[in-house]
Amino acid sequence: MNAVGRPKRLWPRLFALIEAVFYGGVALLGLAAAVVTLFSPIAPKASDRIRLGLNWVPETEHCGFFQAQATGLYRRAGLDVDIQSGGPDVNLPLLVAGGRLDLGLGDSFTTLNMVNNGIAAQTVAAFFQKDPQTLVVHPGQGITTLADLRGHPIMVGAYARQGYWLFLKQRYGFTDDQLRPYNFNPAVFLADPAAVAQGYVTEDGWVFGTHMKTPPVSLLLADGGFDNYAQTVFGLTPWIRAHREAVRRFVSATAQGYRECIGGDAPGAMKLVLTQNPEHGEPLYRFKIAKMRALHMVDGGDAARLGVGAMTDARWASFFHTMADAGLYPPTLDYRKAYTLEFVRSR
């Protein structure tokens, strides 16, 4: 299954009910954990277990997590990390809010949406400095920027209409009458030389390009001012506070995993990804890694100055105010509750 335009942001109203049930248990568990920690002798302890939910099926973009798993980075950090596959029907915020997962992968929208729904959740690190979301067009149409698409019909999935589509309307003057349905089938795009469709920068040249005489034009939203952090790690605020040291070690080990992926072959990561998702294939894996390196998705942006996984107050503020101006969030929302810089270098 290709991941172009993957539907990964679902926000059921069930959040409020889950929070009411969950917090009662978390408060007691957090108190018990604090008491145990206070009276525990200073000695090596069993590995801290973390249940991590992926935002899609295992793929190249997850290489840092799988490299940390394959090479023992997590184990040496005193962690027992259980990496669980995601997919189109997996609602990570719901699973994290319900206590079935400890941490999940998302983006800036993830915890902003949770906080906006009354769920205390935080993003602790961002391993992609650029959101991979694109709009894809056929070459030879004179379209080279997002602004050039104003007025053009665009195939976009339903979930995106409450996400980056609002950014495009606010920043570039797109209008809802441009919207066309998208069923995640690249054949529809390929059949119409005037078509415009949502895409994913690490896959466009493979999913679309291998069927075209000339590669498609991929317009990366991040290059047009869409400063959404991607491949983020998030969890419930009470759980994060109760497991600070484990989270710190997890973020550090994962950052090292990504450095190894971007800096070399990292065969351990590739082997684990392909074992768990054989359909992915080594050629696609290597194609994606090359894209991630060329675009500095992991080590560019804030990470170029502050290290892999870095975030800043300034960028969170910018993204929030952009989306609040677009009408997605109330301007009074305390967006600072949606992230913490405790576990990453920041300025």
CA–CA separation, 182 and 57 (whole Å): 21
Q: Which of 153, 135, 171 has its CA nearest to residue 319?
A: 171
Mean pLDDT of the chain: 89
Could you say which architecture CATH assigns to the domain 133-224? 3-Layer(aba) Sandwich (3.40)
Q: What is the pLDDT of residues 287-304, one digit of tens each?
A: 999 999 999 999 999 999
pTM: 0.86
Q: What is the pLDDT of residues 174-185, one digit of tens each?
A: 999 999 999 888
Hey, what amino acid is at 242?
A
CA–CA separation, 263 and 282 (whole Å): 18
Please tell me if the domain spanning 15-129+228-338 has the same topology as the one spanning 133-224: yes
Write the CB contacts of 201 (distance below 8 Å, at least 6 apart in sequence): 130, 132, 133, 134, 218, 220, 291, 295
Give the pLDDT of residue 346: 58
Phi, psi of 62 (to 5 degrees): -95, 15
Give the pLDDT of residue 45: 57
Give the pLDDT of residue 30: 40
- C-beta separation of 251 from 344 below 8 A: yes
Class in CATH terms, 15-129+228-338: alpha beta
Give the pLDDT of residue 185: 87
Selected residue with higher pLDDT from 337 and 209: 337
pLDDT band at 18 (very low <50, low <70, confident <90, very high): very low
Hey, what amino acid is at 171?
R
Tokens of 58: 């295992």
Each domain of the chain, given as residue ranges in start order, spans 15-129+228-338, 133-224
User: Which of 59-73, 183-197, 249-263 bottoms out in mean pLDDT, i.e. has the lowest?
Assistant: 183-197
